[in-house]
């Protein structure tokens, strides 16, 4: 796909298609959809940020919300090495020394009226965030220095950033902080919600394994430990595979104990449910 902007052809990215679905915590889903709502022609959508520990489902929430609106989703993974041109337009040298301008997933979403998810945005430097400042206020555009163009966002374009609540991230500059509102906090789910998430992701899992993993996660949450449903899914998936390979030789508890040690480490065993 190609889009022309101020006489420059931009090669667009493809939307992301993921087999995921948000389960539970419908209040945060409503908060996100409300932030994107435009109530009348003088209104503008907001640029929310989803904050929570790694693995609580921030990207899943954003993706599912976008799909509920029937929109294409474009995900851009932020890192400490993300440059402004990675966020906007990257020049690629083709044959005969010609330049091909490749639009980022973010710019593609802007042009096509999709929804852009900037994943783990607080791993990104201030210099990169600065290039997005005009997009995140009422100007709603970005400028590509390499292509020499200004790109305006489609009226249907929506933006969300996910951010991990941990120590391995940058602090946002205040002028970006004020543009990324509202701040929506994603907490650990309740037991019934956590069980529903495990069933959604592991419909083939034994009930006893899913119950055990749910109890483990709830014990860890009560102790304010870092383990999330993503860890639980990995543990349950591995235990299920061990059982499938040798169901006559290993009980589900033995499979779970092995899976816990080999996916989460020995320190996780303190939160193992009692027999």
- pTM score, two decimals? 0.88
Q: Which residues contact 28 (CB under 8 A, 6 or more apart)?
A: 50, 61, 184, 185, 186
Q: What is the pLDDT of residue 167?
A: 60
Q: What is the pLDDT of residue 229?
A: 92
Q: What is the pLDDT of residue 169?
A: 66
Rounded to an integer, what distance in angstroms lies between the CA atom of residue 24 and that of residue 254? 30
Q: In what order do the strands lie in the sheet with 73-77?
A: 73-77, 115-119, 158-164, 49-52, 183-185
Question: Is 141 within 8 Å of 5 (Cβ atoms)?
Answer: no
Q: What is the pLDDT of residue 235?
A: 96
Architecture of domain 2-185: 3-Layer(aba) Sandwich (3.40)
pLDDT tens for the 275 residues of the chain, in order:
998 999 999 999 999 999 988 987 889 999 999 999 999 999 999 999 999 988 889 999 999 999 999 999 999 999 999 999 999 999 988 777 788 899 999 999 999 999 999 999 989 989 999 999 999 999 999 999 999 999 999 999 999 999 988 765 677 889 999 999 999 999 888 999 999 999 999 999 999 999 999 999 999 999 988 899 999 999 999 999 999 898 778 888 999 999 999 999 999 999 999 87
Q: Which residues contact 24 (CB under 8 A, 6 or more apart)?
A: 189, 190, 192, 193, 194, 196, 197
Q: What is the pLDDT of residue 93?
A: 86
Q: What is the pLDDT of residue 55?
A: 86
Domain boundaries, the chain: 2-185, 191-270
């Amino acid at each position: 796909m190609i889009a022309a902007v101020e006489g420059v052809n931009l090669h667009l990215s493809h939307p992301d298609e993921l087999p995921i679905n948000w389960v539970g915590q419908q209040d945060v889903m409503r908060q996100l959809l409300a932030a994107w709502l435009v109530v009348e022609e003088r209104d503008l959508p907001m640029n929310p940020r989803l904050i929570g520990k790694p693995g609580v489902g921030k990207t899943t929430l954003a993706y599912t919300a976008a799909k509920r609106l029937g929109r294409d989703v474009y995900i851009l993974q932020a890192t400490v090495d993300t440059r402004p041109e990675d966020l906007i337009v990257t020049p690629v040298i083709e044959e005969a020394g010609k330049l091909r301008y490749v639009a980022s997933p973010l710019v593609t979403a802007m042009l096509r009226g999709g929804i852009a998810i900037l994943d783990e945005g607080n791993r990104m430097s201030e210099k990169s965030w600065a290039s997005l400042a005009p997009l995140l206020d009422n100007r709603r555009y970005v400028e590509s220095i390499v292509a020499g163009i200004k790109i305006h966002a489609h009226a249907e374009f929506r933006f969300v950033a996910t951010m991990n609540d941990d120590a391995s991230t940058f602090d946002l500059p205040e002028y970006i902080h004020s543009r990324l509102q509202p701040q929506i906090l994603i907490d650990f789910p309740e037991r019934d919600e956590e069980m529903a998430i495990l069933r959604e992701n592991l419909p083939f899992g034994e009930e006893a394994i899913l119950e055990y993993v749910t109890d483990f996660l709830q014990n860890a949450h009560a102790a304010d430990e870092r383990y999330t449903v993503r860890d639980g899914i990995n543990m349950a998936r591995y235990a299920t595979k061990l059982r499938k390979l040798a169901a006559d030789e290993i009980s589900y508890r033995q499979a779970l104990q092995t899976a816990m040690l080999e996916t989460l480490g020995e320190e996780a065993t303190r939160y193992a449910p009692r027999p």
